[in-house]
Amino acid sequence: MKKKVYIISFIIFIIDLLSKILVLGIDKTPITIINNFFYINKIFNTGAAFSLFTGNNFILIIIAIAVLIYIDRKVIDDIKSKISVISISMLIGGIIGNLFDRIVYGKVIDFLSFKFGTYSFPVFNLADTFICIGIFLLIVDFLRGDLNGNKSR
């Protein structure tokens, strides 16, 4: 199971990395994809989600490494479902994607920008998306297991 998780995680990391390489090649942003809704807007974020902990790159690197070690040592061996394989893989791939940016560039490359009327959602990247979907799937898998009376986790 561990091997499968790491293969999927690597694929997710590569997808994130390629998306960021493409965005780095763009000279001018924002680029309108869907007017008044979706834009490619390259920004560099030294913080975490929603720019929390801005300027604390070293601490965020340590936290990411600690989470990856925890997942490797405490979580992967307990995976019991296909949805858990996908969710943990998405978490690992996303965390490594943003960790790579922090180590190589000293900041994270964000580029997905959405507007809803006058509200602009904080700009994010594919790694962030994979992390959020991974967490959501873990919650669903946990609740599904509890609803089915499977509390062996």
What is the predicted pLDDT for the residue at 142?
A: 86
Is 101 known to be catalytic? Answer: no
* Mean of pLDDT values over 5-25: 97
3-state secondary structure the chain: CHHHHHHHHHHHHHHHHHHHHHHHCCCCCCEEEECCCEEEEEEEECCCHHHCCCCCHHHHHHHHHHHHHHHHHHHHHHCCCHHHHHHHHHHHHHHHHHHHHHHHHCCEEEEEEEEECCEECCCECHHHHHHHHHHHHHHHHHHHHHHCCCCCC
| pLDDT recorded at residue 153 | 44
128 is catalytic: yes
Percent of the chain surpassing pLDDT 70: 93
Task: State the average pLDDT over residues 95-118.
Answer: 96
Return mean pLDDT, the chain: 91
Question: What pTM did the predictor assign?
Answer: 0.89
16, 27, 72, 128: the catalytic one is 128
User: Which of 42 and 147 is assigned the larger pLDDT?
Assistant: 42
Residue 146 pLDDT level (bands cut at 50, 70, 90): low
From 16, 101, 110, 141, active-site residue: 110
Q: What are 45-102's pLDDT values in tens digits?
A: 988 876 677 878 899 999 999 999 999 998 998 888 899 999 999 999 999 999 999 9
Mean local confidence (pLDDT), 9-20: 98
